[in-house]
Amino acid sequence: MEEIVKKVILPAAGLGTRFLPATKASPKEMLPIVDKPLIQYAVEEAISAGIEEFIIITGKNKRAIEDHFDAAYRLEEKLKNSGKQQLLKEINKLNDVHFAYIRQKTALGLGHAIYCARPFVSHEPFAVILSDDVIDPDYPLLAEMVEIYEQKKSPVIALQEVPWDEVNRYGIIAGEREDRVFRISDLVEKPKPDRAPSNLAIIGRYILTPDIFQVLESQEPGAGGEIQLTDALRELLKKRPIYGYLIKGARYDAGDKLGFIKATIDFALRNSELAEGLRQYMKEKVADFR
């Protein structure tokens, strides 16, 4: 087996029901935090972890993603002619990155979405990024996970503690902790709080090994009637160790409206064009609450 993590799978076939009506005809992955779509944050994060090949799992109404990562010559020409160098650099910086698109014809779940990429990832480890889990762009989470994979040569999953009343929104693990790394002993997808083995939630960053495909091949539907990646990992755990990594930096659940707004505010406060105006506006707002 090849040992270097060069590929990432970016599932983007979900229906985005939490953002309707915005996502009725456009992909949720194209919703922007300030001025960049969610999926571009994910791609840039992967690039900074040394990933070279990008496999995006798409579905109905997702063509805007392909257009977004395509070159845009007319627009580039226009920006060049009007001297907008900075914008030009911004829109063509991913022109040399290669993407493969696979269509998941029916939304059967995250496990099934990953399985759709099997022909493109045969004998090598690969990363998975769920783009609605947004990570602070200055925090090299995926790169840290690749390092752990290189030491352990086994799957690595990102973890974060969540409030107990939210455990039913996540995959939850049990495990033995050693510093920030957990040796996982169990995984449960979206348990009820009284059934959850802990409040350590799986966050949408994984380094996986290709043996997961054999498990996914015959994985039965689980929570929500969907083929769950968490269930397949639970099965894989019978054959090999799986590790969890407690993340250090900020993470936003941008698949949730409040999480999305928090990410927008935090990212805008770091943007030199917006920070001052937004800070002023927030002061006025807070004064209104008093």
Residues that bind ligand G1P (CB under 6 A): 110, 130, 133, 170-171, 189, 201-204, 228-230
**Nearest-approach distance from CB 109 to ligand G1P, in angstroms:** 8
**Nearest-approach distance from CB 45 to ligand G1P, in angstroms:** 15
Distance CA(64)–CA(82), nearest Å, equals 26
Closer of 170 and 182 to ligand G1P (Cβ): 170
Asked if 161 and 148 touch (Cβ cutoff 8 Å), the reply is no
**Nearest-approach distance from CB 146 to ligand G1P, in angstroms:** 19
Closer of 46 and 79 to ligand G1P (Cβ): 46
Query: What is the CA 207 to chain-centroid distance, rounded?
Result: 12
**Nearest-approach distance from CB 110 to ligand G1P, in angstroms:** 5
For residue 162, give every residue at least 6 positions away whose Cβ sits within 8 Å of its Cβ, in sequence order, or none. Answer: 169, 170, 199, 200, 201
Max CA separation in the chain (angstroms): 62
Closer of 7 and 205 to ligand G1P (Cβ): 205
Asked if 203 and 160 touch (Cβ cutoff 8 Å), the reply is yes
**Residue that the structure tokens 């911004």 belong to:** 90
Specify the amino acid at residue 46: A
Phi, psi values for residue 227, rounded to 5° = -80, 110
**Nearest-approach distance from CB 282 to ligand G1P, in angstroms:** 28
**Residue that the structure tokens 């970016």 belong to:** 10
Strand partners, 160: 201
Closer of 198 and 228 to ligand G1P (Cβ): 228
Token pair, residue 249, equals 């930096």
Residues present in the chain in total: 290
Closer of 48 and 199 to ligand G1P (Cβ): 199
Strand partners, 181: 178, 245
**Nearest-approach distance from CB 5 to ligand G1P, in angstroms:** 20
Closer of 125 and 171 to ligand G1P (Cβ): 171
Closer of 7 and 112 to ligand G1P (Cβ): 112
Task: Name the nearest CA neighbour of 10 among 154, 216, 204, 147.
Answer: 204
- The residue of the chain with the least Cβ separation from ligand G1P equals 171
**Nearest-approach distance from CB 147 to ligand G1P, in angstroms:** 22
